[in-house]
A and B are shown apart, each in its own frame.
Chain A
Amino acid sequence: MLSFLKDLLCKNPLPNQESFSYINMNQAYYPACEVVLYKNKQEFKYTFIIDSGADISLVPKSIGEQLELKKGQLRYLGGISGRMGYYINQVQAEIAGKQFKMELAWATKDTVPLLLGRKSVFKNFKICFNEKKKTVFFS
């Protein structure tokens, strides 16, 4: 019964939901969404790839410069592309019409994609991935 309801909700989005279609890159489909980030009352629109396996959201060097992010304590993370430095920042964000404070890792490299991680993001939404329809729902 519960799985039937879950299935029903994924197939039929609710009115307070916003759906984003997956993007086709490098011959594969990735879940993505539109994120609005605010800085000094200015808004900037980006497309983030949703990475439910990532702890924190990540932006490349150029994006951080555009948002005038602060260089605090330099931290390092290890990933498939090797060791990389980053600075932690907090920005006002908006996804599917919902505003919240988002923790962001500003990478010291520009060769990283924009990734939407779990921390400070996932707790604000119910996120449903429909792999069959290549769509992700935020509610």
Chain B
Amino acid sequence: MLKNLLNVFRRKPKEPSLEYKIFSATDLKKFKPNEYVLFTEKGVYDHGFNLKKLLKKFEREYPNQKPLIVKIPPRKFTLT
């Protein structure tokens, strides 16, 4: 039983998408508050305040892909 339990812990959990991994490793300081940032498997695609415009541009370039959309929170944002 202990062996089975140890095997459960040895198995690797699911991992987030490559876009999320790139996003979490990116320094977000260079983006402005309230800005939208699009991430692809290659890195940051583009950023700006007009999401509609950004997505139209992305769809033209990569019609079969979906980016990870990130919104930079407002300057004084806090969860507390």
Within 8 A of B (CB), among A77-112: 80-81, 96-97, 110-112
**CB contact under 8 A between A12 and B51, given known A51-B79, A113-B73, A113-B74:** no
A125 at interface, CB cutoff 8 A: no
Total contacts A to B, CB within 8 angstroms?
100
Q: How far is the CA of A13 from the CA of B13 in the complex (A)?
A: 6
A13 to B50, alpha carbons, bound, how many Å? Answer: 38
B44 at the interface (CB under 8 A from A): no
What's the minimum C-beta distance from A110 to chain B, rounded to whole angstroms? Answer: 7
Interface size class of A (residues with CB under 8 A): 35 or more
A25 and B15: CB pair below 8 A? no
The answer to the question of A72 belonging to the interface, with a C-beta cut-off of 8 Å to chain B, is no
- When chains A and B are docked, how far (Å) is the Cα of A111 from the Cα of B72? 10
Whose C-beta in chain B lies nearest to the C-beta of A137?
B13
Report yes or no: A110 in contact with B68, Cβ–Cβ below 8 A.
no
Min Cβ gap A89→B in Å is 17
- A45-74 interface code vs B (CB 8 A; 1 in, 0 out): 111010101000000101101100000000
> Which residues of B14-29 are within 8 A (CB) of A?
14-17, 19-20, 23-24, 27-28
Closest 4 CB pairs of A and B: A113-B73, A13-B13, A62-B51, A15-B11
Residues of A within 8 A of B (CB): 12-26, 28, 30, 32-34, 43-47, 49, 51, 53, 60, 62-63, 65-66, 80-81, 96-97, 110-114, 137
